[in-house]
């Protein structure tokens, strides 16, 4: 069985890193709900996922708008019955908005994973946000994991690593990870 079989995963951001994470989730059996402000990037990412047999739905969305992020999370849950994974590859502000929207549903089910992807800009801000979210959500069965990623400059291999690590962190194999940062650049784990 695939690591994310039957999971509903929302991925915010359809740039290079977002595409790889979304594709990796789909390859491991998740239905991916990909949201971005860029229609061309959404189309391209969805085409790649579908070409490989993955399940994906796309939404044109400004993740900086907390009301829009909340409505999107509500729509995913209304359509699919659950939201298991929320992964944001945009800004700290947008990540707070999407994590808040997703966590409302995850807390009700006492289950879920929020992944924060910290690029080479503002990694400390993402890690602080991750710790803050984890302190409030962990008692309710929601895990929060920050993936510190060095960016696209590392090449395709590093992007593939990001996808693989995101799958691990979102899956039951990563069930002991919460309030943790995984450094995808050097492969060390900092808790």
Estimate the share of the chain in helix, then strand, then coil, as percent rounded to the nearest 5.
50, 20, 30
How many CB atoms lie under 10 A from the CB of residue 51? Answer: 9
Instruction: Provide φ and ψ at 11, rounded to 5°.
Output: -120, 120
Q: What is the pLDDT of residue 187?
A: 46
The series of mean pLDDT values per 10 residues for the chain, 191 residues long, is 95 92 97 96 96 97 94 98 96 93 97 91 88 96 92 62 95 94 66 47
Residue from 81, 85, 116, 117 nearest 102 by CA: 85
CATH 3.20.10.10 fits 8-190, yes or no: no
C-alpha R_g of the chain: 15
CA 158/CA 33 separation, integer angstroms: 23
Query: pTM (2 decimals)?
Result: 0.92
The closest of 169, 25, 167, 35 to 97, measured between CA atoms, is: 35
Q: Which residue has the tokens 């940062």?
A: 181
Dist. CA 23–CA 53, nearest whole Å: 10
Task: Give me the residue spans of the domains in the chain.
Answer: 8-190
Pick from 154, 99, 89: which is nearest to 119 by CA?
A: 89
Q: Which pLDDT does position 151 carry in this prediction?
A: 57
- Tens-digit pLDDT profile for residues 57-91: 999 999 899 999 999 999 999 999 999 999 999 89
Instruction: State residue 163's pLDDT score.
Output: 94
pLDDT in the model for residue 119: 77
Predicted local confidence at residue 190, as pLDDT: 47
Give pLDDT, residue 186: 53
């Amino acid at each position: 069985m695939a690591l994310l079989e039957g999971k509903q995963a929302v991925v915010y951001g359809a740039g290079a890193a977002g595409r790889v994470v979304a594709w990796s989730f789909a390859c491991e059996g998740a239905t991916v709900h990909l949201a971005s402000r860029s229609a061309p990037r959404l189309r391209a990412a969805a085409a790649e996922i579908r070409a490989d047999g993955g399940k994906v739905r796309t939404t044109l969305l400004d993740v900086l708008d907390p009301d829009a992020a909340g409505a999107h999370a509500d729509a995913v849950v209304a359509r699919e019955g659950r939201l298991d994974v929320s992964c944001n590859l945009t800004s700290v502000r947008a990540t707070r908005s999407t994590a808040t929207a997703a966590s409302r549903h995850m807390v009700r089910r006492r289950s879920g994973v929020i992944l924060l992807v910290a690029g080479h800009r503002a990694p400390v801000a993402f890690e602080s946000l991750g710790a803050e979210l984890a302190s409030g959500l962990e008692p309710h069965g929601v895990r929060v994991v920050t993936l510190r990623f060095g960016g696209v400059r590392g090449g395709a291999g590093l992007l593939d690593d990001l996808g693989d690590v995101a799958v691990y962190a979102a899956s039951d194999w990563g069930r002991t990870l919460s309030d943790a940062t995984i450094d995808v650049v050097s492969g060390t784990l900092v808790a």
